[in-house]
Structure 1
Amino acid sequence: MSSTFPQVNQSNPDLPEGLLSFDEEFQLANRVKNRGLARERLIPFCEFTYGGYRANWHHELIAEKLEAVLRGELKRVMFFAPPRHGKSELCSVRFPAFYLGHKPQDSIIACSYAENLACTFSRATRACVRSPQYHELWPIKLSRKGDVRWQLDGKKDERPSYIAAGINGSVSGEGANLLIIDDPIKTAKQAYSKGYRDDCWNWYRLVGRTRLQPDASIILMMTRWHDDDLAGRIIQQMKEDPTSTQWEIVVLPAENLEGGEGHLPYPALWPTQYSTKALADIQKDIGLYAWWALYQQSPRIASGTVFKREWWPIVDLVPELAFKLQVWDTAFGGDDYSVCQTTGIRLKTEAPRFIGMDVWRDRPIWPDLKQAAVDQYEKHKPDVVAIELKATGISLIQDLQATHPHIPVIGIDIKNTPHPVRTAAVVTQVANGQYGLARGEWNSAFIDEHSEYPLGAHDDQVTTTVHILNLVVHGGYGTDGSKVVIFDALNQLPGADQDQRAQIAQQMSIGAGY
């Protein structure tokens, strides 16, 4: 006669099979609770599907905004955050999976600066959707698999559930309920190429935006590279047209620094990952300009706070001018430009005090450069022509003095003053709206170069502006009392009207400072 005994519970030999220990019951109840939270909230979802996920406070903030997108309460949102601070994992990998769990009939277009990065996010999102943890929340299967396009089983239309694309890539024939743009710019070279920025803007307006359903949402996440990047253009559009679609903007700088964008409740954004010391080391390695743009999300401090785009009033009718100054920055050769800027100056009590009248810019060989200098003088008849004492400028001064003595030419000695120091000394004049521009075809390129300084490809026009301002406002360069004051130099110029020019210069307080 055999006896039967209850089978042993392997996890707890003291309990029959089918019965759970207190610890097991607690763990099961806790998992059921976590499962419920993971279905409802994004951060618990990340923790449930990604073992070891640890959220910082800024991830919680981003998640709150993304949940508002899911509920349809927020249609346009931008996130600006430093590299390697978890924005892509949260926004481009976990959130699309979370979104499709709630809205399996919707379609998502996700794009980045290149299709291969977009496909990387696509594979990661697809892996999340296929994971056992995800199936505990939503037992959804894939019917079409691929890196670029994939679809959930049971989708009622033929549109893919997820489409990956690069900026300038094609999404023709597709539509979406959600557009996610993650880092549309890869490199500084792209950021400071106006052509690439134009391409990015045109792709957004004419391709990405046109593929959206009427009630669709857009999420833009990026590290700010440039004042005129995609986010910058959208922000500018919002300012210029208050009736246009308004975006919510979340700015997350790496640390709290005076003058920057955004404000943190702590000294550093993610102190457990990037302490203030670690951030200081990064700043030393990458340089100040890249630091302010990429980590502080303040590209204007890096490249546009020097000269903001809106600081240059355009003048349709040039007012009466008391004095005209023409400044040359001549090239060393190669890809450098030679630039001549002619600027009218008004009395100190009038605003704008400076009127940029014209800019000539080219890469001439020597005989053509000399002829251009003569032509520009004859065109504008300035009271003085100032040429920087460098490169071909020295030869140009000597040649003009010998062959065209009627041209009132003087040399500009920068006295080894670094360009940023020269610029900082006069930027207030432009910031206060004191530098107007006579309307002309040259305005756009002029403003672009100034707004991109100091990270732009060229700074020749900036150099002439800085020379003009330093000559008029400070009288020249140097802090040792030996600087050449422009109205003293005027007394040495040939011509019967030299006394009149000097008198005007003194009346205008040229060289007297701010």
Structure 2
Amino acid sequence: MPRKASSEPGSASQHAAILNAILRQHFPSFVRKVFSTVNVGDRFVPGRHIDAIGHQMLRMRDGELRRLIVNLPPRSLKSLIASVAYPAWILGRSPSTRIIVASYSDDLSRRLARDFRRVIETSWYRALFPAMQIDARKNTEAEVATTAAGFRYATSVGGTLTGRGGDVIIIDDPIKPMDAASEAERRKVNEWFDSTVVSRLDDPASGAIAVIMQRVHEDDLSGHLLEKGGWHHLRLQAIATEDEDVPLDAKRTWRRRTGDILEPGRAAAEQLDEARRHLGSYLFEAQYQQDPIPAGGTLIRAEWLLTCPDGAMSAPEEFEQIVQSWDVASKVGGRNDWSVCTTWGIRGRKYYLLHVLRERMEFPDLLHRAKELAQRFSAHRILIEDASSGSALAQALRLGEKCAVIAIKPKLDKPARVQRASAVFEAGRVLSPPDAHWLPEYRRELLSFPGGRHDDQVDSTSQFLIWAEERPPTVPILGPIFIPNQPWPEPR
């Protein structure tokens, strides 16, 4: 008698059993199966980034980490992995898990929810996870519940979560790239997270949150959370800018070399060059390189930021004039701007940045610091933008100390002012000390403009450089405002 097919080595049923075992245990393989279900007829391009993301999300499932940020380029299957495959795989293995998935719009949330439903209603998925049963009483466009009291609930960023709680919260593309330039839109997303998301975990001690997105601004949700700390960060650049080891699972590591392309089978160097030309450097560096501050800067380039030995800027007599430039914040608060004073030495056609003060101060402290800095550096002139608190500071210094204060009324908008100042940087006529503690943050702000979180040091710098370039050469040099009794102290 013929043997049953199921008992034959290599039979179809054995192959199916092996495949199902792989799909249950190996998340990247499950992602590939989900892709073929959601994108019928499209070619799946494998990539090691899928293993890298899957590894971190499984660590989150296993409780090894509770806060995960994944940044990677657009069109890299991030939504399919995080919002469709991962919830389906987790609910298949543990149908009582409560999962909330949020995206930047209702339309995107609904589309991803439909893709999720399409997967879990297939015969292959039901055969793979027979214990995962849909509760017909809670099967809506926004929510799919299981008979084990688990669910996948879809919402939009900023949408209501009143009365909802979960074990896992996934935030997928919380802001559209076109909205990222708006401070109001960024703040809305960040405040929504701070005020709503964390409180929606049923068990704050064990609940997990994952944010997966392309970077769109220095102060986007990823930047906001990374600044706070406590997040595991997986940063996958389209083109590696340094050698790095990326874990693929508990045993395997992906060694990325500088210049390696993330998905050479889908986005080769030519396609990435085209994306850079189309988007421009700033957006490409943010969305593809996960660095909202371009490595070379935008209006001001990194190669223009020159330094000189400390000895070249050590004493007041080395310079024709010492000028201080103030950009004064109108309000004091944790998210408000800083008050900044840059101190400059002028020698011929070159400008030496001697010191940067950057603090949040109430007006009495501001006035005290202005006097202190003027005395410390024997300032000849003080430039202050004639607006709000700056006007009050200028008046107080003029009346109380008889200082040579010049009130500046800007004639151009900020980008135009920085563009004017950038020519002086490009000409190599701006120099800084090489090891000043304030220099890294100063350089970062200059290179990030106009996409950075703050621009106070930029404003102070452009104000000085424009004034210095436009000042009449016949204007006599005044004596210093204050004559110190000793050489300059070491700048703090």
Superposition TM-score, scaled by structure 1 size: 0.64
CA distance in 1, matches of 2:151, 2:171: 16
Paired AA for residue 164 in structure 1: A
Equivalent in the alignment of 1:170: 160
CA distance in 2, matches of 1:375, 1:150: 65
Tell me if the contact between 1:326 and 1:386 (Cα under 8 Å) persists in the aligned partners: no
Taking a change above 3 Å as real, the CA distance of residues 120 and 417 of structure 1, as seen in their structure-2 partners, is: closer
CA distance in 2, matches of 1:465, 1:259: 35
State whether structure 2 residue 475 is matched by structure 1 residue 492. Answer: yes
Equivalent in the alignment of 1:267: 260
CA distance in 2, matches of 1:259, 1:435: 26
Equivalent in the alignment of 1:455: 451
Higher relative contact order (CA 8 A, sep 6+): 2
State whether structure 2 residue 271 is matched by structure 1 residue 288. Answer: no
Paired AA for residue 264 in structure 1: R
State whether structure 2 residue 28 is matched by structure 1 residue 37. Answer: no
* CA offsets 1:368-388 (integer angstroms, 9 cap, x no match): x9x999958846855363869
After superposition, residues 65-464 of structure 1 pair within 5 angstroms as 65-139=56-130, 140-143=132-135, 144-152=138-146, 154-155=147-148, 157=149, 161-189=151-179, 191-214=180-203, 215-238=206-229, 246-257=230-241, 264-265=256-257, 267-301=260-294, 323-325=322-324, 353-355=355-357, 360=385, 378=398, 382-383=403-404, 385=406, 419-422=421-424, 426=430, 432-434=436-438, 453-455=449-451, 462-464=458-460
* CA offsets 1:345-367 (integer angstroms, 9 cap, x no match): 6999x99724476864659xxxx
**Aligned-pair Cα RMSD in Å:** 4.9
CA distance in 2, matches of 1:63, 1:436: 35
Shift of residue 469 of structure 1? 5.7
Tell me if the contact between 1:345 and 1:354 (Cα under 8 Å) persists in the aligned partners: no
CA distance in 2, matches of 1:185, 1:261: 29
* CA offsets 1:447-467 (integer angstroms, 9 cap, x no match): 998686123699797344234
CA distance in 2, matches of 1:148, 1:342: 52
Tell me if the contact between 1:192 and 1:452 (Cα under 8 Å) persists in the aligned partners: no
CA distance in 2, matches of 1:31, 1:427: 69
Paired AA for residue 175 in structure 2: I
Query: Match of 1:126, SS?
Result: helix
Paired AA for residue 227 in structure 1: E
Query: Match of 1:219, SS?
Result: strand
CA distance in 1, matches of 2:86, 2:440: 48
Shift of residue 180 of structure 1? 0.3
* CA offsets 1:88-121 (integer angstroms, 9 cap, x no match): 1111111110011111011101101122212221
Taking a change above 3 Å as real, the CA distance of residues 102 and 120 of structure 1, as seen in their structure-2 partners, is: same
Paired AA for residue 284 in structure 2: W
* CA offsets 1:11-69 (integer angstroms, 9 cap, x no match): xxxx97965898x9444322211100111111122234443544211111111112222
CA distance in 2, matches of 1:436, 1:95: 40
Query: Match of 1:353, SS?
Result: strand
Taking a change above 3 Å as real, the CA distance of residues 256 and 29 of structure 1, as seen in their structure-2 partners, is: same
- Decide which moves more: 382-391 or 210-219: 382-391
Taking a change above 3 Å as real, the CA distance of residues 433 and 257 of structure 1, as seen in their structure-2 partners, is: same
Taking a change above 3 Å as real, the CA distance of residues 353 and 98 of structure 1, as seen in their structure-2 partners, is: same
Equivalent in the alignment of 1:396: none
Tell me if the contact between 2:96 and 2:151 (Cα under 8 Å) persists in the aligned partners: yes
Tell me if the contact between 2:343 and 2:353 (Cα under 8 Å) persists in the aligned partners: no
CA distance in 2, matches of 1:69, 1:354: 43
Shift of residue 203 of structure 1? 1.4
Taking a change above 3 Å as real, the CA distance of residues 278 and 300 of structure 1, as seen in their structure-2 partners, is: same
Taking a change above 3 Å as real, the CA distance of residues 186 and 499 of structure 1, as seen in their structure-2 partners, is: closer
Paired AA for residue 32 in structure 1: A
CA distance in 1, matches of 2:245, 2:283: 15
Taking a change above 3 Å as real, the CA distance of residues 102 and 420 of structure 1, as seen in their structure-2 partners, is: farther
* CA offsets 1:369-425 (integer angstroms, 9 cap, x no match): 9x9999588468553638699679xxxxxxxxxxxxxxxxxxxxx9x9755444566
* CA offsets 1:299-348 (integer angstroms, 9 cap, x no match): 1337989799xxxxxxxxxxxx99554589xxxxxxxxxxx987556999
Paired AA for residue 173 in structure 1: G
Taking a change above 3 Å as real, the CA distance of residues 141 and 21 of structure 1, as seen in their structure-2 partners, is: closer
CA distance in 2, matches of 1:69, 1:110: 15
Larger Rg: 1
CA distance in 2, matches of 1:261, 1:281: 28
Shift of residue 72 of structure 1? 2.2
CA distance in 1, matches of 2:80, 2:199: 26
- Decide which moves more: 217-226 or 447-456: 447-456
**Which of residues 449, 452, 462 is equivalent to 1:466?**
462
Taking a change above 3 Å as real, the CA distance of residues 48 and 183 of structure 1, as seen in their structure-2 partners, is: closer
Equivalent in the alignment of 1:334: none
CA distance in 1, matches of 2:434, 2:411: 26
Tell me if the contact between 1:341 and 1:461 (Cα under 8 Å) persists in the aligned partners: yes
* CA offsets 1:229-257 (integer angstroms, 9 cap, x no match): 2221222112xxxxxxx221111011123
- Segments of 5+ residues of structure 1 without an aligned counterpart are 1-14, 239-245, 309-320, 329-339, 364-368, 393-413, 438-445, 478-483, 510-514
Taking a change above 3 Å as real, the CA distance of residues 182 and 431 of structure 1, as seen in their structure-2 partners, is: farther
Tell me if the contact between 1:351 and 1:434 (Cα under 8 Å) persists in the aligned partners: no
Paired AA for residue 32 in structure 2: E
- Segments of 5+ residues of structure 2 without an aligned counterpart are 37-42, 247-254, 303-315, 328-338, 359-365, 371-383
